[in-house]
Amino acid sequence: MGHERTKFKDVLRVRNFSLLWVGQIISNFGDRFNYMAVMGLILFKWEGSALDAGMMFIFMSLPALIFGPFAGVFVDRYNKKKVMIMCDVIRAGLVGLLPFVSSLAQIYVIIFLISSVSRFFYPARSAIIPEIVESDKLLIANSLSQSTYQVSAIVGYAIGGALVAIVGPTCVFYIDGISYLISAFLIFSIVHSARQKLPDASGNTIGRVKNELVDGLRYSYNEKRVLFLLVSFTAVLLFFGGINILWIILVRDILGLGIEGMGIIESVVGVGMLFGTLVVGYVGHRFKIKTMIVGGFFVFSLSFMAIGAWMTLLNVVFWVFMAGFSMSFVNIPGVTVFQKIVPEDMRGRVFSVLGTLTDVAALISMAIMGVLANVFPIQALLIASSIGMLTVAIVSAFARINFEDDLEETHLSLEMTSSGNPDN
């Protein structure tokens, strides 16, 4: 009943969440501008190939292999607010280097570093939301957080593409850097008494970090609802993580669009996701979580199957809207499950495990797609990927998972089976 009474305005009245939310809006807009600036620089100013742009996506994902498993341990041990502020300031400085690049190698290095810092920011942001928002408001809070991403995608990609065409990539890079600094200031304004876990001066630090990492992995495996989401999300990214490479070929080479057109198509995805976010926020409490997630998988896979079957501009626009709409039914309930059933001192690690698995899956997918795109037509690859995801949806539908189980039992079970020092 709590979900039925909670409204968007109730969550926005929570000062700490509102500060985080506004900061997210500003930095997300900056990120969209920056993405279009990098794409404009590589694909249009330097006339690079889809593989050149694909390498950027690979360098964005590589930090998941290096830092992903340990980022969550770091987040769980330190003040999440301070972690986010530090990450925003560092990313602002790194983005400020982009106007001075003169080669693809320099872009790849900076993108790699920005993504590495983000490995610590995102788990901290996801883990802090349940600490500043009451449990019965989490679904709405996540819906608002997701809608922030969608609004920035709707307007950000379109405006970003136009800005790159008008003023060039350099000015847009500076805008992104400023957006990170504004986000850092707003997060600094959050009043939050965190129960951080400071590192113990005694013992082997590396060993302790390893033990905490193992604890996070063990929890993720033993909690079947978390394991279901980890496996299904990872499987989806194995089939669709390389979509960015195919997308560049589709938009630039098949549809014949420039950087402005690329921004508009990206915005259509955001429109669909925003619409889906609003629907989930208003009526999501009426449906079972598994129903929403599996339904989202089905619609997403069928959307890209339709795009692969008929590659005209109007058809692409309609079905990317539907793909964006469907993913809101996956992302919002999925994140809400993680936040509700995972204990506070374990959330950073679990979100880090999720980010690591999905980024690694996307990295593998991009590497495979980069090779296959030179051998097979894009239509065949889109349809094959859609069939793979449809298989994931069917298997997920038959999985015996009930997300509506008593949440208190989950926490009790964890406390009874934990094998580590209770002060860890």
Summarised one tens digit per residue, pLDDT across range 137-167 is 777 787 777 677 667 767 788 888 888 888 8
Is residue 52 a contact partner of residue 252, using CB atoms and an 8 Å limit? no
pLDDT number for residue 173: 93
Q: Is the pLDDT of residue 45 over 80?
A: yes
Please answer whether residues 366 and 244 qualify as being in contact, where contact means their C-beta atoms are separated by less than 8 angstroms: yes
Short-list 152, 27, 15, 20, CA closest to 88: 27
* Chain length of the chain: 424
Cβ neighbourhood burial of 141 (10 Å; 0-12, 13-18, 19+) = buried
Q: Name the strand (E) or helix (H) holding 345.
A: none
Give residue 419's pLDDT.
35
Q: Is the per-residue pLDDT at 22 higher than 80?
A: yes
What Å distances lie between residue 62 and 51, 120, 249, 361, 367, CA to CA? 16, 14, 22, 11, 12
Residue 204: the pLDDT is: 54
The CATH number of the structural domain formed by 2-191+204-417 is 1.20.1250.20
Q: What is the rounded CA–CA span in Å between residue 325 and residue 231?
A: 22
Contacts of 111 (CB under 8 A, 6+ apart): 38, 56, 59, 60
Task: Please tell me the distance from the alpha carbon of residue 240 to that of residue 141, in angstroms, as a whole number.
Answer: 27
Q: How many CB atoms lie within 10 A of CB 73?
A: 23
Element holding 374 (H helix, E strand): none
- Which tokens belong to 214? 């193992």
The backbone region for 135, taken as left when phi is positive above 0, alpha when psi lies in -120 to 50, beta otherwise, is alpha
The answer to whether 297 and 392 have CB atoms below 8 angstroms apart is yes
Q: How many Å is the maximal CA-CA distance in the chain?
A: 64
Instruction: Judge contact between 218 and 126, C-beta under 8 A.
Output: no
Name the DSSP letter for residue 198.
Answer: P
Distance between CA atoms of 211 and 67, rounded to whole angstroms?
16
Which H helix or E strand runs over 96?
Answer: none
Query: Tokens 């279009």 correspond to what residue?
Result: 36
How far apart (Å, rounded) are the C-alpha atoms in residues 262 and 247? 9
Spatial CB neighbours of 10, under 8 Å, sequence gap ≥ 6: 137, 140
Residue 205 has pLDDT above 70, yes or no: no
Over residues 292-305, the mean pLDDT reads 94
Say which residues have a Cβ less than 8 Å from residue 214's Cβ, sequence separation at least 6: none
Least confident of 78-87, 294-303, 365-374: 365-374
Least confidently predicted of 195-204, 287-296, 390-399: 195-204
What mean pLDDT is predicted for residues 88-116? 94
Give the confidence band of 314 by pLDDT, cuts at 50, 70, 90.
very high
Q: Is the pLDDT of residue 202 over 60?
A: no
397: left (phi over 0), alpha (psi -120 to 50) or beta: alpha
Report the C-alpha gap between 332 and 355 in whole angstroms. 15
Residue 216: name the closest of 63, 74, 407, 371 by CA: 74
CB 245 within 8 A of CB 369: yes
* Other beta carbons less than 10 A from residue 218's beta carbon: 14
Distance, CA of 10 to CA of 392 (rounded, Å) = 36
Q: How many CB atoms neighbour CB 96 within 10 A?
A: 16
Up-side HSE of residue 325: CA atoms within 13 Å toward CB?
Answer: 15
Mean pLDDT for the stretch of residues 350-356: 78
pLDDT at 256: 86
State the average pLDDT over residues 319-340: 88
Place of tokens 């509506």: 404
- Confidence check: pLDDT of 348 > 50: yes
